[in-house]
């Protein structure tokens, strides 16, 4: 294909050497450059035509396409608008304009373009599908579902429409219906990891934990180091009372993110908030191996020791945090509480006085 385009460009160059204003040769040369991915060269050809024929709608349209491919989106829209001023019913120009607007997150304007096309061809499933996606992006899920339904009436196996309808239902918290559409999408495309992610989440939200775990395992068979999935699987196992298996998931997560302090702290804190202290300790211990002076983690570890009524150990962690920052109010307050439990009133008062 590349050789064919290059040969064509060479032929057009010969024509243009004799007739530099041959707009047909310039147009075809521009198309050949576009096919080669040489968008700036294509634009130069189209500009040469527009100097001669400034209202050539086809050239304006093709220039818009080349600008779009080159990332010059606003300029592309300008070209499509100019083409549409000449021919307001140029469906290709309307569609491409909509796609550029969609890419710029200007969803309402994109929807207006899709609606113009649908006035002429109400059964265009690509336009209906894209309109549905634009509606989802501005949280108009019920209208999006209407679009997806029209697509699925024409093509019941349109995987992306099934999947996105599932997502729209999910966002409306209609999880059981969402599961039906995720299942249908997987029937058509059983290896789609993204559908598996969303299906497993919907199953979790409807308390179908065993089924969710089956889906997590399908994902992990393909992506064994997917820490998000391992984490969600640990949740499901924990809820089912399978604490050892949940802990095994955390061992796998720790192996995958052993030096990622941000993820370690985020997961540790999340587990801490859910009062799953035994699991949280795994992450805090790893963090303290990397950074023994992390005062927040030291303080959190102290809090967990208090939960287990290991007050002396808790105080040891608070003291380590206070070596790092002598005015760390959270550590002083928590240390005071631990000292009170141990009937160490004077020392507790000293801590509280520093807080005050």
pLDDT for 148 equals: 99
Q: Which domain holds residue 316?
A: 295-356
pLDDT for 21 equals: 83
Please give the distance of CA 345 from its chain centroid, rounded to a whole number. Answer: 53
> For residue 227, what pLDDT band results from cuts at 50, 70 and 90?
very high
Kindly tell me if the per-residue pLDDT of 2 is higher than 70: no
In a domain, 126, yes or no: no
DSSP-derived 3-state class of residue 56: coil
pLDDT for 5 equals: 73
In a domain, 156, yes or no: no
* Tens-place pLDDT, residues 293-310: 999 999 999 999 999 999
Query: Exposed, middle or buried: residue 205 (CB in 10 Å: 0-12, 13-18, 19+)?
Result: middle
* Tens-place pLDDT, residues 63-97: 999 999 999 999 999 999 999 999 999 999 999 99
In a domain, 305, yes or no: yes
The tokens 């206070």 sit on which residue?
Answer: 322
DSSP 290-331: H-TT-HHHHHHHHHHHHHTT-HHHHHHHHHHHHHH-TT-HHH
pLDDT for 14 equals: 78
| Distance from C-alpha of 273 to C-alpha of 266, rounded to nearest angstrom | 11
The mean pLDDT value of the chain amounts to: 95
* Tens-place pLDDT, residues 20-68: 888 888 898 889 999 989 999 999 999 999 999 999 999 999 999 999 9
Residue 351's domain is classified under what CATH number? 1.25.40.10
- The answer for residues whose C-beta is within 8 angstroms of residue 274's C-beta and 6 or more apart is none
In a domain, 332, yes or no: yes
Query: Mean pLDDT, to the nearest integer, of 328-343?
Result: 95
In a domain, 282, yes or no: no
Query: Mean pLDDT, to the nearest integer, of 272-290?
Result: 95
Kindly tell me if the per-residue pLDDT of 3 is higher than 70: no
pTM of this structure: 0.85
In a domain, 353, yes or no: yes
% of the chain at pLDDT higher than 70:
99
pLDDT for 301 equals: 97
> For residue 329, what pLDDT band results from cuts at 50, 70 and 90?
very high
Instruction: State the total domains in the chain.
Output: 1
- CB 204, CB 229: distance < 8 Å: no
Query: Exposed, middle or buried: residue 279 (CB in 10 Å: 0-12, 13-18, 19+)?
Result: buried
């Amino acid at each position: 294909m590349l050789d064919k385009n290059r040969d064509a460009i060479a032929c057009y160059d010969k024509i243009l050497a004799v007739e530099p204003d041959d707009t047909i040769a310039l147009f075809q040369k521009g198309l050949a450059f576009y096919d080669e991915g040489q968008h700036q060269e294509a634009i130069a050809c189209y500009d040469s035509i527009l100097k001669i024929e400034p209202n050539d709608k086809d050239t304006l349209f093709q220039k818009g396409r080349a600008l779009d491919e080159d990332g010059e989106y606003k300029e592309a829209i300008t070209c499509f608008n100019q083409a549409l001023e000449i021919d307001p019913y140029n469906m290709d120009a309307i569609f491409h304009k909509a796609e550029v607007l969609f890419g710029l997150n200007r969803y309402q304007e994109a929807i207006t373009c899709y609606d113009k096309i649908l006035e002429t061809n109400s059964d265009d499933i690509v336009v209906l599908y894209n309109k549905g996606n634009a509606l989802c992006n501005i949280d108009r899920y019920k209208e999006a579902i209407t679009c997806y339904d029209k697509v699925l009436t024409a093509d019941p196996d349109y995987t992306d429409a099934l999947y996105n309808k599932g997502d729209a239902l999910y966002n409306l918290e209609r999880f059981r219906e969402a599961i039906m559409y995720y299942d249908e999408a997987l029937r058509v495309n059983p290896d789609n990891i993204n559908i598996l992610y969303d299906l497993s989440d919907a199953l979790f939200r409807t308390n179908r934990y065993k089924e969710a775990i089956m889906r997590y395992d399908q994902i992990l068979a393909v992506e064994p180091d997917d820490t998000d999935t391992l984490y969600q699987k640990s949740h499901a196992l924990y809820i089912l009372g399978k604490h050892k298996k949940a802990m095994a998931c955390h061992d796998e997560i720790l192996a995958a993110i052993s030096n990622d302090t941000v993820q370690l702290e985020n997961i540790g804190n999340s587990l801490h908030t859910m009062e799953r202290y035994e699991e949280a300790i795994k992450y805090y211990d790893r963090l303290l191996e990397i950074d023994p002076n992390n005062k927040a983690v030291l303080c959190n570890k102290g809090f967990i020791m208090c939960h287990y009524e290991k007050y002396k150990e808790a105080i040891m962690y608070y003291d380590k945090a206070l070596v790092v920052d002598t005015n760390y109010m959270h550590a002083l307050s928590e240390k005071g509480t631990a000292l009170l439990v141990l009937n160490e009133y004077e020392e507790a008062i000293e801590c509280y006085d520093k807080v005050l």
